[in-house]
Structure formats: C-alpha cells, structure tokens
Amino acid sequence: MLRLVLFDIDGTLIHTDGAGIKAFGRAFEMQFKIPNGTQGMKFSGRTDTGLARELFTRHAVETSRENFQAFFDCYFDWLAHMLTEVRGDVFPGVWRLIYDLQSLPTPPTLGLLTGNLRLGAELKLRHFNVWDFFQFGAFSDEHENRNEIARAAHDRGSRLAGRPLRGEEILVIGDTPLDIECGRAIGAKVLAVATGGSTLAELESHRPTWAVTNLEKVRAREICLR
C-alpha cells in the first residue's frame, strides 16, 4: 500500500503559462544586463539551480554564491509579479486526485518533489490555492540534481512515517523522463502524466509504472491499493 505520494509541480499540478520561464529571463536581464538569455534552453523537468548554472555558464557569468543569491532574489520578485499577469491553471483531475487520496481509509502522506526552489514553489502553488495540501516538500535549494532531491524527499517521508519507507510504498507523479528517472532512483512507483513537457509516447518509452494523458484518468484507490 502507498504511504507517500510525491508530486512534481510544473506540468503536473499546474501550468503557469510560462510565468516561471519569463521570470527567469527577466531576472537574468535585470541582474546581468543580458536580454533573451534563456533562449534555446529547455526547462521542463530541470531544477532551478541547475538551470541558473546553465544560464550563467552560457553567458560567462561567474557561478558564485553571490550571483546565485542576487539572481534568485530578483527571480522571486518577477515570479510573484508574472503570476498575476499570466493565465495559468491547475490541471484537470488534480483536485479530485488530492481529495480522493485524502479520503482513503489510511491516507498516504502528500509531499512535493520538485526542481523549484522552495519559495518559488510556494509562490506558484499559493497562487492556485494548492500549497496547503502538502505536508512537506523537497526542493532544489538543497540539491541541484533531481535524483538527490528525490532521496531527500524519501528520507523526509520516512522520518514522518517513523520508519524507513520501502520503494514500493512511494509514488512519484511527474511529467517528464527526468521525473521517471528520479522516482526510479529511490525505487518508487512512478505515475507519468502527459500534461507538461512530454508526450504520452515519450513518457511510455521510459517505462513508468503508469502513464496517462491527464490525472482525470487516475483512480486513487487503484494506484494506492495495487
């Protein structure tokens, strides 16, 4: 039986109509006076710290602690602003899946496993009123590599459960091959959803436990009790 369900954010729970990517570009331009810096970069499934490192390296900006700090402070301001400007939404099936998981006789812990920084995740999810449903999260403040973030989420979930959780007790839900890979890194089951960066066929080729076009296709009882 599942004891822990870990949700990715962008492309899985919500889409921000590009607010995150736009904020990244505007913050980089403001801090380092380089316009259109993010052009040609692929964002889906990546971590914010990894993306910032790529952005800095592409444009020969020193990858110093101070530069990361200044860039992300500016990014959070732009993100909060952009979220009010764009039309994003919660994906179909998300509300019902959360409700159904919480209504199970022994509900699993719900957590976040995301490449967002914690504050970025909170800004995005609070904007759509989804933040408060999650008991904890693992973010890219602590690790740049998504598989390491998954390990942190596993550890935190185990601590909450009061015992080490086995892989088959954990479900990772995400929208890219990188989500599938990080789920596999902790031995978890993976539900891949084609609402974000990848097609259903692309996700299926990476052999997740389940792959669906959207979360309306998922029944909490089926995935939790199987």
Interacting residues with Mg ion between 54 and 83 (CB under 5 A): none
Residue 174 dihedral angles phi and psi, to the nearest 5° = -160, 170
Instruction: Report the residue from 5, 10, 130, 182 that binds Mg ion according to the rule CB under 5 A.
Output: 10
Interacting residues with Mg ion between 172 and 191 (CB under 5 A): 175
Q: How far is the CB of 178 from Mg ion (least distance, A)?
A: 8
Q: CB atoms < 10 A from the CB of 58, how many?
A: 15
Q: Which residues of 142-161 are buried (b: 16+ CB within 10 A; e: fewer)?
A: ebbbbebbbbbbbebbbeee
Our finding on whether 48 is near Mg ion (CB under 5 A) is no
Ramachandran area for residue 191 (φ above 0: left; ψ -120 to 50: alpha; else beta):
beta
Only one of the segments 5-13, 17-25, 86-94, 208-216 lies at the binding site for Mg ion (rule: CB under 5 A); that segment is 5-13
Q: Which CB sits closer to Mg ion, 10 or 169?
A: 10
Only one of the segments 13-21, 64-72, 100-108, 195-203 lies at the binding site for Mg ion (rule: CB under 5 A); that segment is 195-203
Q: Which CB sits closer to Mg ion, 10 or 181?
A: 10
In this structure, what token pair is assigned to residue 55?
A: 């952005």
The residues binding Mg ion (CB under 5 A) are: 8, 10-11, 175, 196
